[in-house]
Amino acid sequence: MFDLSGQVALVTGASRGIGEAAARSFAKHGAKVMLAARSAGDIDRIAAEINAGGGEAAAVTCNVADYKDVEKAVQTCLDTFGKLDILVNNAGVIEPISRIELSDPEAWAEVIDVNVKGVYHGMRAVAPHMLKNGAGTIINISSGAASGALEGWSHYCSSKAAALSLTRCGEKEFGDKGIRVIGLSPGTVATQMQVDIKASGINPVSQLDPSVHIPAEWVGEAICWLSTDAGDPYRGIDCSLRDEDVRKAVGLI
């Protein structure tokens, strides 16, 4: 068990999958959590379930592609809980999957707006508060796609490479000021994204049997683990949840 008592976390993309799992894990380990996503009904329900289970959670609608929305989410977290210690930049999309020559430029750009600008917006919005306090943790959800090219995923691979670069830049700029910036590459996870990938039939990932994907709950636990001092070795880089030693350290195997 990781003790996150007294900590406050803001999780983007918290309406399902990894974001929902992270929110529930934070609450389980004693942190207060603000759930942010576009789907108000889902995050309201999840927050209510966390509160009913003895945790402390609240929800705020937020489109991470819109900086004012992210700024509002951060301020709502501060107004609700009095502080913000941990930001999880989890919101991300992969649809529409398409080869470059068939891709829709506007749809391609929308993925960049969420997956790249969303990470930057989160970092930009929390940085002044964390710098003032001289402490904080930012966890950016990455992917093996950050360093590997896959057919049909030009938007996703490019966006995750950019997210990894933001992790590196964040650590370079904030590392000596008490803010830790860490990336987490979870591998393939049993979420709606994998359903969409399989339906595309493009590249080897779509051919994987669903049984090989890890549960989102594993990623939620890994995020909480990285939020403790255990995350220090991964400052400015991606921690891979494919690593057996990492899984053992988190307590997953």
| Cβ neighbours around 52 below 10 Å, total | 9
Q: CA–CA separation, 50 vs 56, rounded Å?
A: 7
CATH of the domain at 44: 3.40.50.720
**Mean of all residue pLDDT scores within the chain:** 96
Tell me: the pLDDT tens digits for 215-244?
Answer: 999 999 999 999 999 999 999 999 999 999
Q: Is the pLDDT of residue 253 over 90?
A: no
Known catalytic residue: 156? yes
Q: How far is CA 247 from the centre of its chain?
A: 18
Q: Percent of the chain scored above 70 by pLDDT?
A: 100
Which domain covers residue 46, as residue numbers?
8-250
Among the listed residues 67, 120, 156, 234, the single catalytic one is 156
Position 230 in a domain: yes
Tell me: the pLDDT tens digits for 110-125?
Answer: 999 999 999 999 999 9
The domain tally of the chain equals 1
Q: Which two tokens stand for residue 211?
A: 């049984």
- The pTM of this model reads 0.95
Position 3 in a domain: no
